[in-house]
Structure formats: C-alpha cells, structure tokens
Amino acid sequence: METIYPYIGDLHDVLPAHWVGLVSVFVSVLCGMIVGAERQFKQKAAGTRTLTLICVGSTIFTLASILLAGGSAVADKTRIAAQVVTGVGFLGAGAIIRHRGAVVGLTTGAMIWAVAAIGVLVGGGYAAAGIVLTLLVVGMLVAVQKLERGVLEPCQYAECKIVYKPESGKTRIRLLRVLDDYRILDDAWQVHQEDEFETMTLRYCHYHRGHRSLLFEIVEVPGVTEIERERARRQAYGRGSAKKSGVG
C-alpha cells in the first residue's frame, strides 16, 4: 500500500516528466470517454469525441504550462492552464441554445466546463483524483435524472390520435422523424388504415413542456389533417381536438 500511495498524489513528484505526460494523456482520454459516453447515450450535441478532445486538450495545455516554466522560480506554471477556463467557456456557450420554446444545452455546457477542469487536474499530475471526479460527475448525472423523472417530476402520459393522408407512405416517414427527434419508442404508437386516411395512435408525456411540444411539431407535418388528444385532469382524462391550424 505504501508503494501505491505516492501515485495517488502528484505524479510530478514520483515519475519522470515523459512518463507523467504519457500517464496524464492516457488518463484524460479515459476520463473524457467516460463522460462523453453518457452524453452520447443521451444523444447530446457534445458526445464522446468532443468531450475526450476537450479533456485531452486541457491536459496538454496544463502539461505544456508546467514544462515551459521548468524549474524557474520566476516563471508561473499555471499561466497557460489558467486560460483553459476562459477558452472552454466559448465551447460551453455554443452548446446552449433556445429550442422548441425552451433553453436546452445547459447541462452539456456545464459538462464541457467540468471535463476541462478534470483535464487540468490530470495534467497537473493528479490522475487518480481525475478518475474519481469523473466517476462522481457521471454518477451524479445518472442519479439526479432518475430522481427527477422517478420521484420529483415523473412523466404523465396521455394518448392522441393523428389523422393524416398517407401520400404513398411519405407522411408516416415525416411523422416518424419527429418521433425519433423526441426519442419516442416504437411501442408507444400504432397505425390504423381508415379509408383514404391513416390514423396514428400515440402515447406521449403531456406533463413536461419539452415532451408535449412534439404536438406542435406534428401539426406542421405536411399531410396531417387532424389531431385528437386526451389530457389528464385530476387523474381523469378530458378530450379535446386540434385541427391543422394548431393544438388545442
């Protein structure tokens, strides 16, 4: 245990400079891939490749800052690394957009910032701390999402019927593209043929604004003529309808 303990701290104190660089870059790639895999699974803008590059880049800048300062008592070893915080801010801001009436990308922007911080920490020689913090960040994201969706704000489902002209199957393909954008599972919808029209029965979450906004996307699909939906009120369902001009 005593032989392993020194490597848990600053690697610059126990390894030659070239070995510190190799270990730090390898660990930063691992950390970036772990966090990026979680974002990639949720189909976010910043995925595995982006977050891995951000983590590795932050590590390389930190290593360069330390190496260029050398053993000088005057040179500042954190001069280059300090600019990573400002530079990564532009990437995080680019991930935050206004979409479908809501601001999205805040979590991804914060994740970019956190991954850069982990990269700086790893480049500073604290590889073990970087791995621990990576697992902590990913675990926090997964746990908080389950808490929000399962306890604090669980989804509440309703059904709607979408009537549209088939147009040789083209309208259904357009609708399926909208459902894919909102990650609606295949078992949440069914299609029935009615004379010259088709009717799609869709089960969706009406509680969260970001989920129910798919109805506004659907009414804009060419070929859709009518939407008849259910809406939960005090555990009872009331019925309403929406024509092509909008959703009621």
Q: Mean of the pLDDT values across residues 204-217?
A: 80
Q: What's the pLDDT band for 192 if we cut at 50, 70, 90?
A: confident
Query: Tokens at residue 132, please?
Result: 């621990």
Is a pLDDT exceeding 90 seen at residue 30? yes
Q: What percent of the chain has pLDDT over 70?
A: 82
Q: Mean of the pLDDT values across residues 160-177?
A: 88
**Looking at 77-86, 133-142, 201-210, 230-239, which range is the least confident one?**
230-239
- The confidence score (pLDDT) of residue 118 equals 94
Is a pLDDT exceeding 80 seen at residue 131? yes
Query: Tokens at residue 1, please?
Result: 């245990």
Instruction: Return the top range by mean pLDDT from 15-24, 37-46, 104-113.
Output: 15-24
Q: Mean of the pLDDT values across residues 42-57?
A: 86
Is a pLDDT exceeding 90 seen at residue 72? no
Place of tokens 């043929």: 193
Q: What's the pLDDT band for 7 if we cut at 50, 70, 90?
A: low
d(CA 154, CA 146): 9
d(CA 137, CA 114): 8
**Looking at 36-45, 111-120, 175-184, 238-247, which range is the least confident one?**
238-247
d(CA 25, CA 22): 5
Higher pLDDT, 245 or 217: 217
Distances from the Cα of 29 to the Cαs of 21, 33, 54, 92, in angstroms? 12, 6, 9, 19
pLDDT digit string, tens, across residues 87-110: 887 777 777 766 555 666 788 888
- The confidence score (pLDDT) of residue 57 equals 93
Is a pLDDT exceeding 70 seen at residue 237? no
Is a pLDDT exceeding 70 seen at residue 125? yes
Q: Where are the domains of the chain?
A: 5-151, 157-243
Higher pLDDT, 86 or 25: 25
Q: Mean of the pLDDT values across residues 198-216?
A: 82
List residues bridging with 161 in a β-sheet: 201, 228
| Contacts with 187 (C-beta within 8 Å, 6 or more apart), sequence order | none
- The confidence score (pLDDT) of residue 31 equals 94
CA-closest candidate to residue 218, choices 190, 193, 247 = 247
Q: In three state form, how does the secondary structure of the chain look?
A: CCCCHHHHCCHHHCCCHHHHHHHHHHHHHHHHHHHHHHHHHCCCCCCHHHHHHHHHHHHHHHHHHHHHHCCCCCCCCCCCCHHHHHHHHHHHHHCCEEECCEEECHHHHHHHHHHHHHHHHHHCCCHHHHHHHHHHHHHHHHHHHHHHHHHHCCCCEEEEEEEECCCCCHHHHHHHHHHHHCCCCHHHEEEEEECCEEEEEEEEECCCHHHHCHHHHHCCCCCEEEEEEEEEECCEEEEEEEECCCCC
Q: Which CATH class is domain 157-243?
A: alpha beta
- The confidence score (pLDDT) of residue 98 equals 63
**Looking at 72-81, 161-170, 196-205, which range is the least confident one?**
72-81
d(CA 185, CA 169): 20
